[in-house]
Amino acid sequence: MNPYSILLIADWAHPSWLDKTSPVRSERARAAASVQLLSRYPQLAGMGATPLPWFAAPLARPACARLMRLCGALASARTLRLVVASSAREQFSRSTGLPSIAQFQRHARGEQPDLRLDTPIDCFSRHALTMAGLALALRATSSAPERLWLQLRLPRQYGQTAVQWRLPAVSQQDALKLIEDALDLLHARRTPC
């Protein structure tokens, strides 16, 4: 692992994994944060050549979190079709930071049953949608190094909880298809995250 890639570990990881409240900026702080991560997760040292998850690599951290929320919402698209009150529709967009609920209600996934997740999720909770989406994205990734990279991208509480989800009723192919659908929605309407 060359020095440049070691510094990139601190850039990729969410500050909560570094026990910080804000991103590290200076080269010295980035190096110290990377060493801290390498000491805590020695498997990172051998992952220098491991590619980042294809769907998360080009995305900034807020866009990656939005992608996870979109995945969680699409996994429950059938339930979202049942929301009809205008106040609930407004609350959905306000509380989740996602586009209009109508976009999910019109999506083809709404015609299929909701994916069976380990626990029912609150479709109006930003936290629950992000965690469900991250669990599904972890299911979609094919290797342990990719899963660790993906966990490091979002806050530690999400990564540590999502990795405990087993998702026995969701195949890797179903999770990949969900990621692709969420990416389509993410790119369809480029708005600030």
Give 124's pLDDT tier (boundaries 50, 70, 90). Answer: very high
State the DSSP code for 107. S
Structure tokens at 13: 């990881």
Q: Is the pTM of this model over 0.75?
A: yes
- Supply the pLDDT for residue 4: 46
Burial of 105 (0-12, 13-18, 19+ CB in 10 A): middle
Instruction: Decide if pLDDT at 3 tops 60.
Output: no
Separation between Cα atoms, residue 150 and residue 12, nearest integer Å: 9
Give the mean pLDDT of 19-26.
83
- Cβ–Cβ < 8 Å for 10, 18: yes
Give the mean pLDDT of 84-105.
89
User: Distance from first CA to last CA of the chain, Å, rounded?
Assistant: 32
Separation between Cα atoms, residue 3 and residue 63, nearest integer Å: 27
Report the mean per-residue pLDDT for the chain. 87
**Lowest model confidence (mean pLDDT) among 44-53, 92-101, 104-113, 157-166:** 44-53
Q: Which of 140, 162, 116 is nearest to 14 (CA)?
A: 162
**Integer angstrom CA distances of residue 90 from 75, 105, 189:** 20, 14, 18
Q: Which of 174, 145, 158, 182 is nearest to 48 (CA)?
A: 145
**Lowest model confidence (mean pLDDT) among 42-46, 112-116, 131-135:** 42-46
pLDDT tens for 41-64 read 888 777 665 667 888 888 999 999
Give the mean pLDDT of 119-144.
92
**Integer angstrom CA distances of residue 192 from 64, 97, 146, 187:** 12, 10, 26, 11
What percent of the chain is predicted at pLDDT more than 70? 92
Give the mean pLDDT of 82-86.
88
